[in-house]
Chain A
Amino acid sequence: MDDVKPSVLKPEAEQAARAELLGRLKDMTLALEQGDDALFAERLQDLLRRREDGFFTRIAQLTQDLRAVFAAMEGDSRWNALASELPDAGARLDHVLRLTEQAAHRTLDLVDESQLHLVTLGSCGQTIASTRARLTMAAGASPALAQLAADLQGAEQALSHSHGQLRGKFSELAMAQEYQDLSGQLLKRVTNVIREVERELMKLLSQRSGTQERPPVADKGLEGPVVPGLEKAGAVSGQDDADALLAMFM
């Protein structure tokens, strides 16, 4: 494909075109000065027609260039190989998406199941607290029983602290599964790009072989999750920035 060069005017040809244009403009100025409106209109039409001709010449050149590209693709089996590998790449990414979704749901299931144990731990803590209270009452003047009640209180406090910690950690664990939504959205975008390239390539290859297939137009509306290193200029820097922006409209 390297031998295909876009068409440009050579310096001499450009100079000649400029001289011709200058001559035509002078004619037009003269016609205007002499009050010959009909001649001026005719010259103007000529000029516009020439511009349109130039446009169509360029289109024709582009078409020729494209034909040359297609010709260069002929016999290059890598294009066909690429076209057949792209669906595989898309399918693999779909599979990754399903795997992460399953993993995230499995984690959330385990968190849900653990919540039941947390409830049990909580009610055990309450039982220990009430038992300790009764023991303290019953201990009276017995130092041994009072010591038992004090030991029990230590365990009760440690249990309560760990119970609170576990609740917090499980909540964070569930929240951390948010990655699946964000990575999933990014994977879907990449998959869409792959599918789009695949469609375009198939179209190109089928045109080469003479069959026509119209690819659907890709939706390029939203930017999706911000990717470090690929941030777009218009993105907010975080929730505070988003809040400040929203506040301007509230």
Chain B
Amino acid sequence: MKQNLKILVVDDFSTMRRIVKNLLNELGFSDISEADDGKTALPMLQNGNFDFVVTDWNMPGMPGIELLRHIRADERLKTIPVLMVTAEAQREQIIEAAKAGVSGYIVKPFTGQTLKEKLEKIFERYAQAA
């Protein structure tokens, strides 16, 4: 995995942002920023040259699914991999996220191993597409 990636972690719960950040640190990523919902995240993405987004779904302001749609609709952002890490386990929501172009979907509660596997899988897919 390319460890010099610039990653944005979006979650309204500061505890979860910290946990995801710690896990990413353990996997060797150190350039990590945080946002507490899609509304805060979007301008950061538009101005920040981010390579990867890890986002929750259920957030006040702008939920993760809307952030994902904005990213996919933005010419400069649309290729950024977006990994959704959420407690939303409804099949229809996973399908909605897939249709909106999500790169990976992790259902909370999750383990560090799951996060590692999903990241590897996404990078693998993007490397093949490149």
Contact = CB atoms under 8 A, between A and B. Distances in A.
Given A182-B109, A222-B57, A234-B92, A246 B13 contact: no
Interface stretch (A35-43, A101-109, A147-155, A199-207): A101-109
Contact of A249 (B90, B98, B107): B98
Interface in B48-71: 57-58, 63
A171 B16 contact: no
A242 B87 contact: no
Given A105-B18, A224-B58, A178 B91 contact: no
Nearest to A235: B89
Given A222-B57, A239-B106, A242-B107, A181 B91 contact: no
B26 interface: yes
Count class of interface residues, chain B = 35 or more
Contact of B90 (A105, A175, A179, A235): A235
B91 A235 contact: yes
Interface string A183-196: 01100000000000
B123 interface: no
B79 interface: no
A161 interface: no
B114 interface: yes
Indicate the member of B94, B110, B114 with the most A CB atoms within 10 Å: B94
Contacts of A238: 107
Interface residues of A, number: 34
B11 A181 contact: yes
Contacts of B93: 222-223
B19 interface: yes
Interface string B1-29: 00000000001011110110011001000
B14 A105 contact: yes
B108 A182 contact: yes
Contacts of A89: none
Indicate the member of A179, A232, A236 with the most B CB atoms within 10 Å: A236
A245 interface: yes
Given A108-B15, A174-B22, A242-B94, A182 B111 contact: no
B87 A185 contact: yes
Contacts of B107: 236, 238-239, 242
B98 A108 contact: no
Nearest to B56: A181
Nearest to A103: B15
A62 interface: no
23 contacts: A105-B18, A108-B15, A108-B22, A177-B15, A177-B19, A178-B19, A178-B109, A178-B110, A222-B58, A223-B90, A224-B88, A225-B87, A225-B108, A226-B89, A234-B90, A234-B92, A235-B91, A236-B91, A239-B106, A242-B107, A245-B91, A246-B102, A250-B98
Given A246-B98, A246-B105, 4 more contacts: A177-B18, A181-B13, A225-B108, A245-B95
* For the complex of A and B, 4 pairs with smallest distance between CB atoms: A249-B98, A225-B87, A181-B16, A181-B13
